[in-house]
Chains A and B, each alone.
Chain A
Amino acid sequence: MSAVSEAATSSAMRTREATVRRFAFTDMVFRAATRASAILVLVLLGGVAISLIAGSWEALSKFGISFLSTESWNPVTENFGALAPIYGTIVTSAIAIIIAVPIGIGIAVFLTELCPRPLRRPIGIAVELLAGIPSIIYGIWGLFVFAPFLQTTIQPFIIWLFKGVPGLNSLFAGPPYGIGLLTSSLILAIMVLPFITSITKDVFDTVPAVLKESAYGIGCTTWEVTRRVTIPYTRVGIMGGVMLGLGRALGETMAVTFVIGNAHRISASLFAPGTTISATIANEFTEADGAIYTSSLVALGLILFIITFIILALARYMLLRIDSRTGA
Chain B
Amino acid sequence: MATAQSLHQSRKRKNAVMMALCVIAAGIGLAWLALILGALLYKGLSGVNLAVFTEMTPPPGDAGGLLNAIYGSIVMTIIGIVVGTPIGVLAGTYMAEYGRFSKLTTVVRFINDILLSAPSIIVGLFVYELMVRPMGHFSAIAGAVALSILVIPVVVRTTEDMLNLVPNALREAGTAIGAPRWVVIRSVAYRAALSGIVTGILLAIARISGETAPLLFTALNNQFWSSNLNAPMASLPVTIFQFALSPYEEWQQLAWTGALIITLTVLGLSIIARSLTGRREDR
Residue-wise, chain A 275-312 has the 8 Å CB interface mask toward B (1 for contact) of: 00010011001100000000000100100110011001
Residue among A30, A128, A244, A313 with most chain B CB within 10 A: A30
With a cutoff of 8 Å between Cβ atoms, the chain A residues found around residue B118 in the complex are 48, 251, 305, 308-309, 312
Q: Please measure, in the bound complex, the distance between the C-alpha atom of A111 and the C-alpha atom of B30, giving whole angstroms.
A: 13
User: Which of A39, A128, A316 makes the CB contact (< 8 A) with B104?
Assistant: A39
Segment 232-284 of A: residues with Cβ below 8 Å from B: 244, 247-248, 250-254, 257-258, 278, 281-282
- CB-CB under 8 A from A123, the residues of chain B are 26, 30
Nearest A residue to B34 via CB reads A126
Write the B1-18 contact mask toward A (1 if CB under 8 angstroms, else 0): 000000000011011001
User: Which of the residues B36, B156, B271 comes within 8 Å of A138, measured between beta carbons?
Assistant: B36
Question: Would you call B182 and A27 a contact (CB within 8 A)?
Answer: yes
Task: Check B117 against A127 for contact (C-beta < 8 Å).
Answer: no
Query: Main SS of chain B's interface residues?
Result: helix
Q: Which of B120, B210, B244, B256 contacts A258 (CB 8 A)?
A: B244
Contact call B98/A31, Cβ cutoff below 8 A: yes
Is the CB of A160 closer than 8 A to any CB of chain B? no
Task: Pick the residue among B14, B123, B240 that contacts A136 (CB under 8 A).
Answer: B240
Please state if B23 and A312 are interface contacts (CB–CB under 8 Å): no
- A144: contacting residue among B43, B213, B216, CB under 8 A: B43
A227 to nearest B CB, angstroms? 8
Q: Is the CB of B241 within 8 A of A136?
A: yes
Asked if A129 contacts B152 (CB within 8 A), the reply is no
Task: Classify chain B's interface size.
Answer: 35 or more
Contact between B40 and A141, CB atoms less than 8 A apart? yes
With a cutoff of 8 Å between Cβ atoms, the chain B residues found around residue A130 in the complex are 29, 32-33
> CA separation between A131 and B122, bound complex, in Å?
20
Bound together, the chains give a CA A36 to CA B263 distance in angstroms of 36
Hey, which chain B residues are within 8 Å of A248, CB to CB? 117
B93-141 residues with Cβ-Cβ distance < 8 A to A are 93-95, 97-99, 104-105, 107-108, 110-115, 117-123, 125-126, 128-130, 133
Query: Are A125 and B119 in contact, CB atoms less than 8 angstroms apart?
Result: no
Do residues A304 and B119 form an inter-chain contact, with CB atoms below 8 A? yes
Instruction: State whether A51 touches B30 (Cβ < 8 A).
Output: no
Residue-wise, chain A 25-61 has the 8 Å CB interface mask toward B (1 for contact) of 0110011011111111110110110011011000000
Q: A44-B149, A103-B28 are in contact. Are A136 and B210 (CB under 8 A)?
A: yes
Q: Which residues of A contact B267 (CB under 8 A)?
A: 129, 132-133
Residues in B neighbouring A226, C-beta threshold 8 A: 18
B165: min CB distance to chain A, Å: 12
The distance in angstroms between the C-alpha atoms of A132 and B178, with both chains bound, is: 44
Chain A: CB-nearest residue to B104: A38
The CA of A45 and the CA of B211, in the complex, are separated in Å by 19
Neighbouring B residues of A286 by C-beta, 8 Å:
216-217, 220
**Structural contact, B181 and A136, CB atoms closer than 8 A:** no
Q: Which of B209, B244, B262 contacts A143 (CB 8 A)?
A: B244
Residues of A within 8 A of B128 (CB): 55, 285
A122: nearest residue on chain B (CB-CB)?
B30
Stretch of A71-79, A207-215, A217-225 lying at the B interface: A217-225
B19 contacts A by Cβ under 8 Å = yes
A126 touches B33 (CB 8 A): yes
The answer to whether A41 and B125 touch across the interface, beta carbons within 8 angstroms, is no
In the bound assembly, the distance between CA atoms of A267 and B133 in angstroms comes to 36
Q: Is the CB of A251 within 8 A of B120?
A: yes
**Given A39-B104, A125-B274: A31 in contact with B182 (beta carbons within 8 A):** yes
B180 & A24 in contact (Cβ 8 Å cutoff): yes
Whether B194 is near chain A, meaning CB under 8 Å from some CB there, is no
Within 8 A of A (CB), among B32-86: 32-33, 35-36, 39-40, 43, 86
Whether, in the assembled complex, A98 has its beta carbon less than 8 Å from a beta carbon of chain B, the answer is no
- Contact yes or no, B121 A251, CB < 8 A: yes
Given A254-B241, A312-B118, A221-B22 contact (CB < 8 Å): no
CA distance A33 to B88 in the complex (A): 11
- A123–B206 alpha-carbon span in the complex (Å): 20
* Interfacial chain B residues near A128, Cβ < 8 Å: 270
Name A's B-contacting residues (CB within 8 A): 23-24, 26-27, 30-31, 33-42, 44-45, 47-48, 51-52, 54-55, 102-107, 109-111, 113-115, 121, 123, 125-130, 132-141, 143-145, 190, 193-194, 197, 221-224, 226-227, 244, 247-248, 250-254, 257-258, 278, 281-282, 285-286, 298, 301, 304-305, 308-309, 312-313, 315-316
- Write 29 A-B pairs (CB below 8 A) sorted by A numbering: A34-B90, A34-B93, A37-B94, A38-B90, A41-B156, A42-B108, A48-B118, A52-B122, A52-B125, A103-B28, A106-B24, A110-B23, A113-B22, A114-B23, A125-B271, A127-B29, A127-B30, A129-B270, A130-B32, A134-B209, A134-B266, A140-B255, A143-B244, A144-B39, A223-B19, A248-B117, A251-B122, A252-B119, A254-B237
Given contacts A52-B126, A52-B129, A250-B119, 12 further A-B contacts (CB under 8 A): A37-B91, A38-B95, A39-B108, A52-B125, A103-B25, A104-B25, A109-B19, A114-B19, A123-B30, A193-B32, A248-B117, A285-B216
